Structure 1
Amino acid sequence: MKKEREILVIGGNRYFGKRLIARLLAAGDRVTVLNRGSSAPPPGAIHLVADRDDEKSLNEALGSRTFDVVVDQVCYTPLQAAIARRVFTGRTRRHVMTSTVEVYEYEDSIAPVREADVDPTTVPVDLELPWTDPEFLDTHYGEGKRQAEAVLAADPGFPYTSIRVAHVLGGDDDFTGRLRHYVDRVRAGEAIAVPPVNQPATYIHVEEIADFLFWAVGEDFTGPVNAASHGTLTTEDLCAAVAAQLPDGRTRFHEVEVGELSPYAFTRSYGMDNSRATRLGFAFGHVRQWLPRAVAETLQTVGKGA
């Protein structure tokens, strides 16, 4: 008989986080969700209310609880990682941090980047930067994640992994609005801003990243791991997939030398190598197999007036 696992999810009440929670509950795990109280977790989950930036509040909410795995969906800064390291040392057997492809923002390689290209043990940490300033954090998202990984790597206090997530597409609840950006413009025949040389990127479907995180909870590997479907897409590929489902739409590109680009238009390659995760045992799908589904799901948001 399978032993019930004690899982803590910090944040995670929307998009792929809520799908992860649903998978954990369906597997018979005892799931605790911790957030600031802005939204209740799904039925069957325990709800703890605390500000994860407030170490005293976090300790008080957790009490004497311990966990088999902590899944940290909202660790954006080295300050938050340092608090997590102090609070969860001795409380968890494993820590899974949701990271991002943006940790590779300084890399510029035609070849897909590997985890070793950004080794968190070599990343300098500056706790004095204004990490609590929302505007600073918004413009330093990749750096915040990179330094958060570095804090855990330097002295984790527990076995940990950081999941470097590719750009996520799909679902009728994509709050980013990025794929919707292309749907709206193709439908209206409006110009789509791209650089003169438009580079490809790796992506992952919202259901696949939820599957990946669920799988990672049950594994014991440590350190960074890239999570991306096989294959890459350019902005042109995305728009072609949208146009295939909007036959009355029109795709127009506008090359921009300087200025704001459309959400998935890149001046450098944003491809991640997923071979480490594949070797560890996860079977990714191919981006072109699920892309039509992601577009159809985004079209549903248009129908809902989202």
Structure 2
Amino acid sequence: MEGRVLVMDKAREVLVIGGSRYFGKRLITRLLAAGDRVTVLNRGSSPPPPGAERLIADRDDERSLTDALGSRTFDVVVDQVCYTPRQAAVARRVFTGRTRRYVMTSTIEVYGNEDRPTPLPESALDLSKVTVDPELPWTDPEFLDSHYGEGKRQAEAVFAAAPDGLPYVTVRVAHVLGGEDDFTGRLDHYVTRVRDGEPISVPVTDRPATYIHVEEIADFMAWTAGTDFTGPVNANSHGTLTTGELCEAVAAGLPGGEVVYQTVESGEVSPFAFRRSYGMDNSRATGLGFRFGTVREWLPGVVAEAIGQDSGGR
């Protein structure tokens, strides 16, 4: 089944909420290159790429948001920074009737902490059974950081509760790798430790995870904005990697580097070292017409890029 591409007789009006860094910037560049008229809404922390218009508002403040938007309507809204059910509820109220399509960037983390060894399809999460609690301390940065997956899960549930009024997509993004502007430092963690022979903290059992290249997820978000399917969709490259396989790829690019593991039964482990499987099934997206790459094909280039950046900073 192919996803139907929306054909417009004029340039699309696209609003991107957030999008100031990493694959959000790449998404905006792709939309502009496609001829879309792009408006970026953020709190004014950074300017949008050249060619995009900017609106300044606090998306947590419904009055601020509606005042900034005025009477504007959009063909597509892409929300890169919806983290809580409160934000989702505000967005649903504000954008119902303002857009034909609402795309929320979600995460693999919505599938929870239970270890399920097979790649998970979108149906593995029943949003109708998710308890939405807007009274939790979602404005507390520490709470939000430690409940990232739960916040995204409840936000998805808010949109799923009333899909008729606001046609929506939630893109469940796998772990993203690549790009010199990767602000997370997660891959750098491995480059540094393998290069210096420092221990890498891992759980007792090495679980696999799915990943996606930063350019690929930007492509996927732009493609999603231009199609008409709705509901949750997994976005990940084909194949999985264990922590050991990721370390082997780093070691292959660092002659003389040493992989030293430190097993941790409980407590903090290295990034991308998981106590549960983080596998997603991308069959829905591929059936709709998107062609993903394979993680093992693009990983060596990403590792080489990270090693080069690390060497340049030493």
Fold in common (TM above 0.5): yes
Residue identity in the other structure for 1:244: A
Alignment of 1:1-306 (within 5 A): 3-156=10-163, 157-305=165-313
* Structure 2 gap ranges (5+): 1-7
* Structure 1 gap ranges (5+): none
Aligned residues: 306
User: Following the alignment from structure 1 to structure 2, what is the Cα–Cα distance between the partners of residues 107 and 279?
Assistant: 27
- The structural deviation recorded for 1:300 is 3.4
- The structural deviation recorded for 1:304 is 4.5
- Show CA shifts across 1:12-45 (max 9, x none): 1110000000000000100000000000001100
Question: Secondary structure, in 3 states, of the residue corresponding to 1:143?
Answer: helix
- The structural deviation recorded for 1:305 is 2.8
Question: Secondary structure, in 3 states, of the residue corresponding to 2:171?
Answer: strand
User: Following the alignment from structure 1 to structure 2, what is the Cα–Cα distance between the partners of residues 248 and 3?
Assistant: 57
User: Following the alignment from structure 1 to structure 2, what is the Cα–Cα distance between the partners of residues 111 and 216?
Assistant: 25
- The structural deviation recorded for 1:234 is 0.6
CA separation of 1:2 and 1:291: change in aligned 2, threshold 3 A: farther
Stretch deviating more after TM superposition (240-249 or 68-77): 240-249
- The structural deviation recorded for 1:109 is 1.0
- Show CA shifts across 1:91-139 (max 9, x none): 1000000000000123321111111111222211011111111111011
- The structural deviation recorded for 1:55 is 0.5
Question: Secondary structure, in 3 states, of the residue corresponding to 1:171?
Answer: coil
User: Following the alignment from structure 2 to structure 1, what is the Cα–Cα distance between the partners of residues 9 and 199?
Assistant: 55
- Show CA shifts across 1:184-221 (max 9, x none): 10011000001111100000000000000010001111
User: Following the alignment from structure 2 to structure 1, what is the Cα–Cα distance between the partners of residues 87 and 135?
Assistant: 13
User: Following the alignment from structure 1 to structure 2, what is the Cα–Cα distance between the partners of residues 239 and 3?
Assistant: 48
1:31–1:45 CA contact under 8 A, matched in 2: yes
- Let me know the Cα RMSD of the aligned residues: 1.2
Question: Secondary structure, in 3 states, of the residue corresponding to 1:24?
Answer: helix
- The structural deviation recorded for 1:303 is 3.9
User: Following the alignment from structure 1 to structure 2, what is the Cα–Cα distance between the partners of residues 19 and 304?
Assistant: 24
User: Following the alignment from structure 1 to structure 2, what is the Cα–Cα distance between the partners of residues 59 and 53?
Assistant: 11
1:202–1:271 CA contact under 8 A, matched in 2: yes
2:113–2:276 CA contact under 8 A, matched in 1: no
TM-score if structure 1 supplies the norm length?
A: 0.98
- The structural deviation recorded for 1:293 is 1.2
Question: Secondary structure, in 3 states, of the residue corresponding to 2:292?
Answer: coil
- Show CA shifts across 1:139-159 (max 9, x none): 100000000000000014211
1:172–1:300 CA contact under 8 A, matched in 2: no
TM-score if structure 2 supplies the norm length?
A: 0.95
Residue identity in the other structure for 1:18: K
Q: Which portions of structure 1, spanning 4 or more consecutive aligned residues, are displaced by more than 2 angstroms? A: 303-306
- The structural deviation recorded for 1:8 is 0.3
Question: Secondary structure, in 3 states, of the residue corresponding to 2:286?
Answer: helix
Question: Secondary structure, in 3 states, of the residue corresponding to 2:258?
Answer: coil
- The structural deviation recorded for 1:245 is 1.0
Residue identity in the other structure for 1:13: S
